[in-house]
Amino acid sequence: MSEDFQDVEDQPSPPPAAGGGLLAPVEFAVVALSEDTPAEAVLEVYDRCRFYLAEIKRIQKLCEAFMIEKIKHDGPLEVREGVKYVVTTDKTTKCVDLPGTVEALMGAVDGDFSRFCGVLSANAIKTEAARKVLSIDQYEQFFKVTFKDKLEGGEKADKLIKVDDFWRK
């Protein structure tokens, strides 16, 4: 661990918003960050957060895999009256012959282009591929580009869901 990060840990920190617990040292380190904290120390705190998150997700997947097998064997796990964990299966359908599908759909709608567009998903056009074949004016007419700040860095067949019957009424 770098000296900068050690300094951040050694500083008195206000209590974390969520309280103590196993992750309190990490939360203290996050709360202690300021504009004056060296970039290396900020990155070390962030890396520690990412590490714990990855480990928690890994452990959660192990637990979910066990719960899926348990539920398949014994049935739903009741948390309390009307709230239980059950196993469901995701279904994925993919088009395996796009040109053939388009041709069949155009025939099924008697060549009505508007009706054909009605069976397309919201973002059925590959925007970058379209940008390469359309003029700039056409591209700007048909596509809207928006920007949103985002921090970037560095197989499910069965899934576990929690069912709360209270909201089903």
Q: For the stretch 29-62, what's the b/e string if a residue is b when 16 or more beta carbons lie within 10 angstroms of its beta carbon?
A: bbebeeeebeeebbebbbebeeeeeeeeeeeeee
Cα 24 from chain centre: 25
pLDDT (mean) for 5-23? 55
Residue 87 has pLDDT above 90, yes or no: no
Render pLDDT for 92-113 as a digit per residue (tens, 0 to 9): 888 888 889 989 999 999 999 9
- DSSP bridge partners of 86: 161
Render pLDDT for 26-44 as a digit per residue (tens, 0 to 9): 899 999 999 999 999 999 9
Render pLDDT for 62-73 as a digit per residue (tens, 0 to 9): 998 898 889 889
* Confidence band, pLDDT 50/70/90 cuts, at residue 49: very high
The pLDDT of residue 2 is 44
The DSSP line for 57-86 is HHHHHHHHHHHHHHHHHH--EEEETTEEEE
The pLDDT of residue 18 is 53
Residue 163 has pLDDT above 80, yes or no: no
Mean pLDDT over all residues of the chain? Answer: 80
The pLDDT of residue 97 is 86
